[in-house]
Amino acid sequence: MKQNLYKYILGIADNSLILGQRMGALTGHGPSLETDIACTNISLDLFGQVRNYYQYAAKLKGDNTTEDDIAFLRKEREYFNVLLVEQPDTNFAYTIARQFLFDSYHFLFLTELQKSYDITLSAIAKKSIKEVSYHKRFSSDWIKRLGDGTEISHENIQEAINELWTYTDELFHQTEEDKIMVKENIGVDVTRLKEVYYDAVNGILKEATLDIPESKWFQKGGKHGIHTEHLGYILSDLQYMQRTYPNMEW
Amino acid sequence: MSTKKNWPLWEVFVRSKNGLEHRHFGSLHAADEEMALENARDVYTRRSEGVSIWVVESKHITASNPENNGELFEPAQDKVYRHPTFYDLPDEVKHM
Amino acid sequence: MSEEQIRDLEAQFEARIARDEKIEPKDWMPEKYRKTHIRQMSQHAHSEIVGMLPEGNWITRAPSLRRKVALLAKVQDEAGHGLYLYSACETLGISRDELYEQLHTGKAKYSSIFNYPTVTWADMGAIGWLVDGAAIINQVPLCNTSYGPYARAMIRVCKEESFHQRQGFEIMIKLANGTKEQKEMAQDALNRWWWPSLMMLGPTDDKSVHTEQSMKWKLKRKTNDDLRQQFIDQTVPQAELIGLTIPDPNLKWNEERGSYDFGKINWDEFWQVVKGHGPCNKERMKARVGAWERGEWVRDAAMAYASKNQERKQDQAI
């Protein structure tokens, strides 16, 4: 099996899985019906992407592996999403800040992934980027509304941005597999996205009258399967059925 | 109870495909026009129902009053000469 | 207006409905028509959004990705349906915020079936199959109701709901054809949801206060008892098909009536739940009120931003 490619795909897909899971959990609890529907749409887009990636990964793996085996039956250390996407929905500001910080990256990443020499990855990227452009518009608009809204909303979103900022640097880290994939023109060199990313993010934050966090200390580990404590609980929910009732069809 | 201003109501018009007119699809609440468009997209085109959306804040629509329906619409009813069936043609002329 | 004039208008109004003409928002209507419609439509809207909660409960735990996206899309549709119905209601001059207020203070009712807990995954199947099944029976005739905005909302709702019941029944089929454990899970869910689903179609005709007037206004096309019979007659063969047993020892085909006879419904339980003593009444309200209150600063922010933006645009124009 193409072990490196397999792991590379998981690294991309797990971000969408965990963020989709977080966003999906909010269904029915949004600040307005309209916003609720919009957030569920984002979750559905992300799960759609997850299925495309995992189906491809399952095919690479062979031995009748399914998308669900990959989604539900790995151990904590075998999920490779970045720490950012597993952070909790402390309030709507955190939901929007997390989404915005990820969307801004996701958009740049998919733009590059479209050029992958791997035609399946390139095709998934071409399909997904339309969805993610919309996510980026949605979350950026909300950053501006909350930042330049009321005093309370300004405070809340500033706090959320400050708290989550520490997870942004990891987006541009490379694992060994990443480097190999870049060399083979399959993967995206994320180190080259960093500057553009912070330019874009800072631009929106400024427009939203928000301060750009000065913290230079960043958290990392997700890409190597070392997560914050939040992931364990996400997985307990996510995997509950498959673990409690193993080897069944649903 | 909050006395603050709530999100106003908007009317949503969707063109289901090019060549067709925008049709009234329903309404929704949004704080501003960008949000109204985004919400309309998320609420009313989840099943690929549209290729173009118009939104207009409901308060900007001026509607005729049904009480005036008599003077507004009934005078048109006896102007049958505006319809092709008013005119007699010989049977031989099949298409006109 | 004199009383006589009003009586005259009322007679004309009833005649229009009898001729199957639609009533539109700005048309004259008797106050009772307006009030009844606000009550029924908002109750329906509330049921949709409270109904999101028991199913939303399983979104994070759905057993496969395919089931997860289907469930997400379904619960999202319910939000959409709530939205369509609130909008229809708003054409009668009441705002969504006022309607929420009625829900949150317990003044307005919603379908009491959503006060039962969803304890296993099979409940997602049972709700889709039975609860949506019963809802569809109620809703399809409303596509022809007399109030235009309500009828139009219902057409959209019914069109979108057509996948909901299938989604639920498919879950049940999979479980019923699965392992022993899965089959037991399915049977258990059917046992718990069967009777509440029958109650969902409303009190028996002799206890139903609104039926006669509602029939006239086409808010109702069949009585509760007729709807219930229709639901039972269509559902029993479906249960048989997948090898599940309806939890009613008195259920029996009646050749003469061409319908199933069925056992006594525990109406005490129904009224208890309606009065707020169901297993989840409190949780459901807490969830709704909580979401609304937690969202207040968000909604305010959006309004503040919108008006600042408006001012900026005006400044630029000068």
Secondary structure of B49-82 in HEC code, one letter for each residue: CCCEEEEEEHHHCCCCCHHHHHHHHHHHCCCHHH
- Say what the pLDDT of residue B2 is: 45
β partners of residue B15: B22, B52
- Say what the pLDDT of residue C212 is: 79
Placement of tokens 């501006």 in the chain = A144
Name the DSSP letter for residue C130.
I
**How do residues C235-294 score in pLDDT, each as one tens digit?**
999 999 999 999 999 999 999 999 999 999 999 999 999 999 999 999 999 999 999 999
- Say what the pLDDT of residue A1 is: 65
**Record: contact B26-C309, CB cut-off 8 A:** no
How far apart are alpha carbons B34 and B27 in whole angstroms? 15
Residue type, C261: D
Please check whether residue C99 is in contact with residue C45, taking contact to mean a CB–CB distance below 8 angstroms.
Answer: yes
Give the ranges where chain A is alpha helix by DSSP (H). 3-25, 33-61, 67-72, 92-113, 119-147, 151-165, 176-183, 194-207, 230-244
How far apart are alpha carbons C258 and C50 in whole angstroms? 36
Placement of tokens 């969202």 in the chain = C295
Radius of gyration of chain A (CA): 18
**How do residues C26-72 score in pLDDT, each as one tens digit?**
999 999 999 999 999 999 999 999 999 999 999 999 999 999 999 99
What share of chain A has pLDDT > 70, as a percent? Answer: 100
**How do residues A13-43 score in pLDDT, each as one tens digit?**
999 999 999 999 999 999 999 999 999 999 9
Q: Flag whether pLDDT at A102 surpasses 50.
A: yes
How far apart are alpha carbons C133 and C307 in whole angstroms? 45
By C-alpha distance, the chain B residue nearest A40 is: B42
Residue type, A198: Y
Please check whether residue B28 is in contact with residue B10, taking contact to mean a CB–CB distance below 8 angstroms.
Answer: yes
In chain A, which residues have their Cβ closer than 8 Å to the Cβ of C121? 241, 250
Q: Count the neighbouring beta carbons within 10 Å of the beta carbon of residue A199.
A: 9
How far apart are alpha carbons A200 and A188 in whole angstroms? 19
Q: How far is CA A48 from CA A24, A119, C85, in A?
A: 13, 18, 29
How far apart are alpha carbons A25 and A12 in whole angstroms? 21
The string of DSSP letters for C154-206 reads HHHHHHHHHHHHHHHHHHHHHHHTS-HHHHHHHHHHHHHHHHHHHHHT-S-GG
Radius of gyration of chain C (CA): 22
**How do residues C163-205 score in pLDDT, each as one tens digit?**
999 999 999 999 999 999 999 999 999 999 999 999 999 999 8
Q: How far is CA A128 from CA A109, A110, A132, A239, in A?
A: 11, 7, 6, 25
Residue type, C197: S
Radius of gyration of chain B (CA): 21
pLDDT band at residue A186 under the 50/70/90 scheme: very high
**Record: contact B29-A137, CB cut-off 8 A:** no
**Record: contact A47-C69, CB cut-off 8 A:** yes
Q: How far is CA C172 from CA A249, C194, C238, in A?
A: 12, 14, 10
What share of chain C has pLDDT > 90, as a percent? Answer: 87
By C-alpha distance, the chain A residue nearest B41 is: A38
Nearby residues of B89 by Cβ (< 8 Å), 6 or more positions away: B96
In chain A, which residues have their Cβ closer than 8 Å to the Cβ of C62? 241
How far apart are alpha carbons B51 and B16 in whole angstroms? 6
β partners of residue B54: B13
How far apart are alpha carbons C152 and A169 in whole angstroms? 50
In chain C, which residues have their Cβ closer than 8 Å to the Cβ of B26? 84, 87, 152-153, 156
Residue B91: strand, helix, or coil: coil
How far apart are alpha carbons A11 and A16 in whole angstroms? 10
What share of chain A has pLDDT > 90, as a percent? Answer: 98
How far apart are alpha carbons C198 and C131 in whole angstroms? 9
Q: How far is CA C248 from CA A134, C133, C188, C191, C218, in A?
A: 51, 18, 13, 9, 33
Please check whether residue C69 is in contact with residue A24, taking contact to mean a CB–CB distance below 8 angstroms.
Answer: no
**Record: contact A37-B39, CB cut-off 8 A:** yes
What share of chain C has pLDDT > 70, as a percent? Answer: 100
Q: What is the number of alpha carbons within 13 Å of residue C243 lying toward its C-beta?
A: 10
Q: Where do the domains of chain B lie?
A: 3-63
**How do residues C217-245 score in pLDDT, each as one tens digit?**
998 888 999 999 999 999 999 999 999 99
How far apart are alpha carbons C266 and C76 in whole angstroms? 32
φ, ψ of residue A245 to 5 degrees: the values are: -125, 75
Angle among Cα A20, A54, A164 to the nearest 5 degrees reads 35
Please check whether residue A117 is in contact with residue A185, taking contact to mean a CB–CB distance below 8 angstroms.
Answer: yes
**How do residues C121-146 score in pLDDT, each as one tens digit?**
999 999 999 999 999 999 999 999 99
By C-alpha distance, the chain B residue nearest A45 is: B46
What share of chain B has pLDDT > 70, as a percent? Answer: 96
How far apart are alpha carbons A185 and A194 in whole angstroms? 19
- Say what the pLDDT of residue A215 is: 84
- Say what the pLDDT of residue B1 is: 41
Residue type, A74: R
Placement of tokens 């189906």 in the chain = A55
- Nearest beta carbon to residue A37 from set B7, B34, B43: B43
Please give the average per-residue pLDDT across B89-95, as a whole number: 86
C243 touches chain A (CB under 8 A): no
In chain A, which residues have their Cβ closer than 8 Å to the Cβ of C290? 29
C294 touches chain B (CB under 8 A): no
Please give the average per-residue pLDDT across A154-176, as a whole number: 98
A47 touches chain C (CB under 8 A): yes
CATH pick for A2-244 out of 3.40.980.10, 2.120.10.80, 1.20.1260.10, 3.20.20.10: 1.20.1260.10
Buried/exposed C245-275: b ≥16 CB within 10 Å, e otherwise: ebbbeebeeeeeeeebebeebeeeebeebbe
pLDDT band at residue B4 under the 50/70/90 scheme: low
> Which of B44, A28, B40 has the alpha carbon at shortest distance from C75?
A28
Tell me, which fold does domain B3-63 have in CATH? Ubiquitin-like (UB roll) (3.10.20)
The whole-chain average pLDDT of chain A stands at 97
- Say what the pLDDT of residue C64 is: 98
Q: Flag whether pLDDT at C213 surpasses 90.
A: no
State the nearest Cα–Cα gap between B21 and chain A, in angstroms.
25
Record the tokens describing residue C260, joined without a space. Answer: 């199933």
Q: Where do the domains of chain A lie?
A: 2-244
Placement of tokens 């129904």 in the chain = C270
Q: Flag whether pLDDT at B67 surpasses 90.
A: no
β partners of residue C254: C259
How far apart are alpha carbons C119 and C126 in whole angstroms? 11
Q: Starting at the earlier edge strand, list the strands of the sheet with B9-15.
A: B22-29, B9-15, B52-57
- Say what the pLDDT of residue C162 is: 82
C26 touches chain B (CB under 8 A): yes
pTM for the structure as a whole: 0.95
**How do residues A41-54 score in pLDDT, each as one tens digit?**
999 999 999 999 99
Q: How far is CA A135 from CA A108, A131, A167, A226, C281, in A?
A: 13, 6, 19, 27, 35
A103 Rama sector, left if φ>0, alpha if ψ -120 to 50, beta otherwise: alpha
How far apart are alpha carbons C229 and C261 in whole angstroms? 9
Q: Flag whether pLDDT at A201 surpasses 90.
A: yes
pLDDT band at residue A242 under the 50/70/90 scheme: very high
